[in-house]
Amino acid sequence: KNEVEQSPQNLTAQEGEFITINCSYSVGISALHWLQQHPGGGIVSLFMLSSGKKKHGRLIATINIQEKHSSLHITASHPRDSAVYICAVRDRAAGNKLTFGGGTRVLVKP
Amino acid sequence: SQTIHQWPATLVQPVGSPLSLECTVEGTSNPNLYWYRQAAGRGLQLLFYSVGIGQISSEVPQNLSASRPQDRQFILSSKKLLLSDSGFYLCAWGQGGEQYFGPGTRLTVT
């Protein structure tokens, strides 16, 4: 079993729909990251959070430390949101190195 | 502001040939530096990280090596490439828990 599991693996939405991506992890963490990888491969860090909730524009990230679960929400989705979204955790027992989920490929159709 | 450069952007190399990928960071000093690989259809995997000049930690056994000859320069090398070395190689720098990714190098070993 992977230490970081994401669901779904693939997601297709119509423009304007609300999107949720889930991330579950099995290790003790010091922080969780949400990353966005565009088709060209470049990666952008969206959020780093260790508790509660963060919001940036139409993106919202939440984390429940007790349940070892995080969600990334995209409100009013747009075709430019099409990308792979990656969850990564900083493993406290592994020197705070990042362990990555397999990613969720999101396609938003106009 | 900080920027991170990687080159080349794409590379096609025959099996058995050497490899040298370079990563440089501007606008910060003494960053932690990371090399990641993303094989086709797989998640990101940490290959090497460095907390200072000449200090390299390897995460997975492989025919790759890394060096940090200067504070803001991180080099990934191989003496003889294998087909399995094909993938997308990302350099990242980190401070304060956050990590910032370079544009990546897409390597195809033929």
A42 touches chain B (CB under 8 A): yes
- Contact at 8 Å (CB) between B9 and B106? yes
Is residue B82 pLDDT above 70, yes or no? yes
Q: Which tens digit of pLDDT belongs to each residue from B24-34?
A: 999 988 899 99
Distance from CA of A95 to the nearest CA of B (A): 11
- The candidate with the shortest Cα–Cα distance to A41, out of B20, B24, B6, B97, is B6
Asked if B11 reaches chain A (Cβ–Cβ under 8 Å), the answer is no
Torsion of CA B82, B84, B89, B95, to 10 degrees: -100
Nearest CA in chain B to A100: B44
Cα angle A90, A96, A101; round to 5:
30
Of B3-17, B48-62, B78-92, give the lowest mean pLDDT range.
B48-62
Nearest residue of A to residue B100 by CA position?
Answer: A45
CB contact under 8 A, B44 and A96: no
Confidence of residue A92 (pLDDT cuts 50, 70, 90): confident
> Any idea which residue has 């949101």 for tokens?
A81
Under 8 Å between Cβ of A72 and B12: no
Name the β-bridge partners of A26: none
Region A10-19: what's the mean pLDDT?
A: 97
d(CA B16, nearest CA chain A) in Å = 26
